[in-house]
Amino acid sequence: MDLSAINPVLLIASLMVAATAVMIAAIGELIVERAGVLNLGVEGMMITGAICGFAAAVQTGSPTIGFVAAALGGAALSLLFAFLTQFALANQVASGLALTLFGLGLSALLGQGYQGIKPPSTPRIDIPVLSDLPWVGRILFGHDLMVYFGLALVAAVWAFLKYTRAGLVLRAVGENHDAAHALGYKVIRIRVMAIAFGGACAGLGGAYISLIRVPQWTEGMTAGIGWIALALVVFASWKPWRVLLGAYLFGGVTVLQLNLQAAGIAIPVEYLSMSPYIITIVVLVIMSADKSRAPASLGRIFHATH
């Protein structure tokens, strides 16, 4: 065993990469749940985004177009969920589970012929001088744009919810949809927009895996990240910065345990593999022991009676 082989700078830099997919998907789901909708289809939307982004990037040669296609793909799939739950008033849990199964199947179909192909690589930003600084240069200035996009998204969502009128209305809809309706807010429209945003984010998260993290296409490659994103939202008590923290913790332990495996530490691989899930959930459970609680209308079906 040789722990000195683990380079802390590389570890931090790679945990940021490992955390980005789950973070983007989770921040999208956070908006959906703050609007009072429980969409369990994150995994399905992620894998659909992963293949949409992958295919578009391979066809056009542009990773940017790939990410745009991934967001559109995820959003399109989420609109199916929006139709079922907001217009047909179907049960949200069942619809969300169905969406995941549907997304897994759809992505396998779309992905025919894309196995074993390398996607066009996404450049890292490279700022002269800054990126070459020791330690901080690699950690702060040496990533692909999506890492920064994810961080900016968390900040933007936080500011949106806290400081803007639209964010206040969104929280109000999630808190008490009947009262929001009585005040004249368009509950269904707001929720559909939130669901589409969540779908787009999930799609981006999926494409981050297929275009940057791995990068290749295999069936079912999101491997439960969507479920982790869902759990993060709950244990983060629906707070954006805690989603960031949870995602980085998850990414960090994931990377660390891989390094430990490589270093040949004397712990069975199975325990190391499960550690990211266990540690993330334990930490967030402890943190969520404060007074915060779920949006009061979460998962409830809204039907305007007048």
Partner 1 sequence: MTEPLLSIRGLTKAYPGVVANDDVSFDIQPGEVHALLGENGAGKSTLVKMIYGLVKPDSGEMLLRGKAFAPSEPKAARASGVAMVFQHFSLFDALSVAENIALGMADPPAMRDLAERIRAVSDQYGLPLDPWRIVGDLSAGERQRVEIIRCLLQDPKLLIMDEPTSVLTPQEVQILFETLRKLKSEGTSILYISHKLEEIRALCDEATILRLGKKVATCTPRDTTAREMAELMVGAELHVPSREQKEPGAVRLALKDLAVKSPSEFGTSLKGITLEVRAGEVLGLAGVAGNGQDELLGALSGEIRSANDMVSLDGKAIGATGPRERRRMGLLTAPEERLGHAAAPDMSLTENAALTGAERKGIVSGGFLNWGRARGFAKEIIDRFDVRTPGTENTARSLSGGNLQKFVIGREVMQAPEVVVVNQPTWGVDASAAAVIRQALLDLATGGAAVIVISQDLDELMEISDRFGALNEGRLSEVRPAQGLTVDEIGMMMGGSHDMEVADV
Nearest residue (CB) to partner 1, 8 versus 163: 163
Out of 94, 101, 130, 182, which residue is the one contacting partner 1 (CB under 8 A)? 182
Regarding 295 and contact with partner 1 (CB under 8 A), the answer is yes
With binding defined as CB under 8 A, does residue 306 bind partner 1? Answer: yes
Decide: is 53 part of the binding site for partner 1 (CB under 8 A): no
Q: Does 175 help bind partner 1 (rule: CB under 8 A)?
A: yes
**Residue closer to partner 1, measured from CB, 124 or 293:** 293
Kindly tell me which residue out of 116, 134, 184, 268 binds partner 1, with binding defined by CB under 8 A. Answer: 184
Closest CB 256 distance from partner 1, rounded Å: 36
Residue identified by tokens 């992905």 is: 111
CB of 261 to partner 1, least distance (A): 43
Least spacing, CB of residue 185 vs partner 1, in Å: 8
Q: Report in angstroms how near the CB of residue 182 gets to partner 1 at its nearest.
A: 5
For residue 144, what are the β-bridge partners? 124
Q: Would you give the distance in Å from CA 275 to the centre of its chain?
A: 20
Spatial distance between the Cα atoms of 157 and 177, rounded to a whole number of angstroms? 21
What is the rounded distance in angstroms from the CA atom of residue 232 to the CA atom of residue 25? 10
Distance CA 122, CA 137 (A): 19
What is the DSSP track for 210-273? IIIIS-S--TTTTTTHHHHHHHHHHHTTT-HHHHHHHHHHHHHHHHHHHHHHHHT-SS-HHHHH
176 binds partner 1 (CB under 8 A): yes
Pseudo-torsion of CA 182, 183, 184, 188, nearest 10°?
-70
Interaction of residue 118 with partner 1, rule CB under 8 A = no
Binding site residues, partner 1, CB under 8 A: 165, 168-169, 171-172, 175-176, 178-180, 182-185, 293, 295-296, 306
